[in-house]
Structure 1
Amino acid sequence: MNLIRELVLTKEVCSTLKGFDGKLRKEEANSKKLSKDLKAMSHVKAQLESDKRFLQVRLDSVVAKETDLKAIPKIGEERALVAEIAVATVNCNFEAMVVEKDKLLVEAKEEVERVKADCANAEARALSEY
């Protein structure tokens, strides 16, 4: 009779362990997915920073051209005025793009932090359940 009880208890323990193993595998898969998401967000962040640097170089180039146009004597006044308008427009557009890129960068950083927290929570859950 004791042997039967031990077998039943052993079967229950094995079943429970299999359940924990399944949960652990699921959490490991989620953790891997979150790690991939984190890498993708890091790549997006790097691309946004690269785009921001590129736009700054373009803006510097336009400003340099504006300076050159301002150096043109009287006949170039109209061109300089057009250049100023163009530069003002570019500056406005650039500032809007920088603000948007900064917003995206902040969102990307927040998403990275959220993914890190999710990974840590998943790992903690997996360890506590196992």
Structure 2
Amino acid sequence: MLNYLLLATHRTQTMSTSPSKKAKTETTFVDVPSNSDFPIQNLPYGIFSTREDPENKRVGVAIGNLVLDLSVLAAEGHFTFDASFFSEPTLNSFMAAGKTTWDAARATIKRLLSAEEPTLRDDVDLQNRALI
């Protein structure tokens, strides 16, 4: 179920991108190995926890060998909508929010991970909390 959900979310983003936007090269400040399945062009959502706090399951996206903790970004107010569902242990509420929210979330995530955007790139404290 989760794999299908991730593919469907990615496919929706790809289909809604105009040809001129597809041609634009997206880069990230995050060190992503060249053979990674998770460059900035493929940011799958998932549920994760850490070894230090295995019971605290929350929503993140894979970027290279890291996970971007969306609950941290939500708590910091980086989304233009109520993103409290990123602190939940399932993707259910996020998926129920619909396409407008999905598109806004993906645009915010890509902007924050962009090499040109200083918000996350230049904030070492935020990086330490959000990039796991």
Higher strand proportion: 2
TM-score (norm 2): 0.21
Bigger relative contact order, structure 1 or 2, given CA contacts below 8 A and separation 6+? 1
TM-score (norm 1): 0.21
Higher helix proportion: 1
Bigger Rg, which one: 1
